[in-house]
Amino acid sequence: MKVFVNDDIKEIPLGSSLHWLLNDIGMKDFSGWAIALNEEVVPYAEIKQKTLGDGDRLILVQATQGG
CA angle 64, 26, 45 (to 5 degrees): 70
Rounded-to-integer distance, Cα 46 and Cα 8, Å? 23
Rounded-to-integer distance, Cα 55 and Cα 32, Å? 26
Provide the CATH number for the domain around residue 27: 3.10.20.30
Number of folded domains in the chain?
A: 1
Residue 67 lies in a domain: no
| Mean pLDDT confidence for 26-32 | 89
Lowest average pLDDT, out of 20-24, 45-49, 56-60, 62-66, goes to: 62-66
Rounded-to-integer distance, Cα 28 and Cα 65, Å? 21
Residue 40 lies in a domain: yes
Range of the domain at 47: 2-62
Residue 19 lies in a domain: yes
Whole-structure pTM value = 0.88
- Residue with the bigger pLDDT between 30 and 11: it is 11
Q: Give backbone dihedrals phi and psi of 32, rounded to 5 degrees, phi first.
A: 85, 5
Mean pLDDT over each residue of the chain, to the nearest integer: 94
Residue 11 lies in a domain: yes
User: 9 in helix, strand or coil?
Assistant: strand
Residue 37 lies in a domain: yes
